[in-house]
Amino acid sequence: MHDSRRSLVVCRSGRNWELRRLLLLFVPVLTMLIGCTSAMAQQTRMYFIAAVDVDWDYAPTGINQISGAAFGETENVFVHSGKERIGKVYQKAAYREFTDGAFTTLKPVDPRWEHLGIMGPVIRAEVGDTIQVVFKNMTGFPASMHPHGVLYAKSSEGTPYNDGTSGSDKADDAVPPDGTHTYIWLVPERAGPGPMDGSSLAWMYHSHTDEPKDTNTGLIGPLIITRKGSANPDGSPKDIDREFVTLFTVFDENASHYLEQNVERFTSKPRRVLKKRLEDEDFRESNLMHVVNGYVYGNLPGLTMKQGERVRWYLQAYGTEVDLHTPHWHGQTALIMGMRMDMVELLPGSMKTADMTPDVPGTWLYHCHVNDHIDAGMMALFTVTE
């Protein structure tokens, strides 16, 4: 008994030694393999995005979807087109994704992102990746792409100011009509979720050549970063079933690059408006479009989810001192910064994340809780299916 135990021990250590020798032989191969996988995980994500002109309809269904009724006096302040009113369709600019650098074929929008509306495409990355955006300006005014959060050199900041740069470091600041520029943004740890964040967070990108005018004209989009190791191959967070990005802002069409074009194209007395009405208080009021993703009075499509799904909402706001927004969900609650809420506070430039597991099926109201903004149409509907 004793002997056989001893021989067993000898035999085991003999095997261990052989195993170790084998492992030592495989070390270089293993190192190579590990190196390859981490190189694969750190990828360059390419985007071809153009700023394009669009005729944007703020209420394409033509009715107030919240009341289910035709537009009345309150809504018509903003949506009615007439002698001295532009109405609900404005020429705007938007970021749109193309299939390649020829910029001739628009990339089809995934139905999951239909709700982005006026916003540009989602730019995604996992911490460790590099984002490369080939940008073409197809609008009639100089524009740029300025990102939040990620790491960039001066040649990829997209903002002109007295920062001591010159030459090629300035090419990104104001891409002229028909011009192109390639922006390179790195995604180090500090561009990704912090200790209190979930597996992903959203930054914004927008034109910053003339920031107030560019963003009022529509050049705005989301940039989503997922924690290292938490992303699917497409960059989306593994632990989330569905993501929504919602933007709350009052688009001030009086401050758009295209105000004059809009007066000429969409009012029936453009000369009178251009001569006498641009400073008129009622005219200016009619051009304040209180939107969620570019839609008023419940016209935002695509906010559909299933009961029990892990849903992540990214909320953003732009604008000026009237742009304090308090998006509120009916019927559900969400976790925001670890706290249970059904409402989020946003100021211009805010970016917040809310995680929701919708548990009650139905069609629900999602609206800004500021009274003046409710009247002006900053409301949407979302649907939870069984």
* Residues forming the site for Cu ion (CB under 5 A): 325, 368, 370, 373, 378
CB of 233 to Cu ion, least distance (A): 37
CA distance 345 to 341: 11
Token output for 164: 């001591």
Q: Which residue is nearest to Cu ion (CB)?
A: 368
At residue 274's C-alpha, the angle toward residues 272 and 278, to 5°, is 110
Minimum CB distance to Cu ion smaller for 266 or for 318: 318
Q: What SS3 class is residue 180?
A: strand
Q: Please give the torsion angle defined by the CA atoms of residues 113, 78, 330 and 332, in that order, rounded to the nearest 10 degrees.
A: 20
Least Å distance, CB 44 to Cu ion, is 38
> How far is Cα 313 from Cα 299, in angstroms, rounded to an integer?
19
Beta-strand relationship, 304-306 and 339-341 = unpaired
Of residues 240 and 376, the one with the C-beta less far from Cu ion = 376
Which C-beta is closer to Cu ion: that of 311 or that of 378?
378
Give whichever of 152 and 313 is closer to Cu ion, judged by the CB atom: 313
Residue type for 330, please?
H
Which residue, 311, 320, 321, is CA-closest to 382?
A: 311
Q: How far is the CB of 45 from Cu ion (least distance, A)?
A: 33
Comparing CB distances to Cu ion, the nearer of 163 and 285 is 285
Of the candidates 226, 218, 202, the one whose C-alpha atom is nearest the C-alpha of residue 253 is 218
Are the C-beta atoms of residues 344 and 382 closer than 8 Å to each other?
no
CB nearer Cu ion, residue 222 or residue 327: 327
Report the candidate in 95, 90, 80, 186 with the shortest Cα–Cα distance to residue 139. 95
Task: Output 378 or 380, the one with its CB closest to Cu ion.
Answer: 378
Q: How far apart are CA 311 and CA 307, in angstroms?
A: 10
Residue 315 structure tokens: 């909320």
Instruction: With beta carbons less than 8 A apart as the criterion, state whether 114 and 199 touch.
Output: no
Q: Which residue, 356 or 368, is less far from Cu ion as judged by CB?
A: 368
With respect to Cu ion, which residue has the nearer C-beta, 202 or 378? 378
Closest approach of Cu ion to the CB of residue 239, in Å: 30
| CA-closest candidate to residue 44, choices 182, 200, 198 | 182
Q: What is the number of residues in the chain?
A: 386
CA dist 37 and 128 (Å) reads 13
Which DSSP letter does residue 268 get?
A: S
Q: Tell me if residue 177 falls in helix, strand or coil.
A: coil
- Interatomic CA distance for residues 348 and 317, integer angstroms: 5
Residue with tokens 């249970």: 340
Q: How far is the CB of 373 from Cu ion (least distance, A)?
A: 3
Cβ closest to Cu ion, residue 277 vs residue 373 = 373
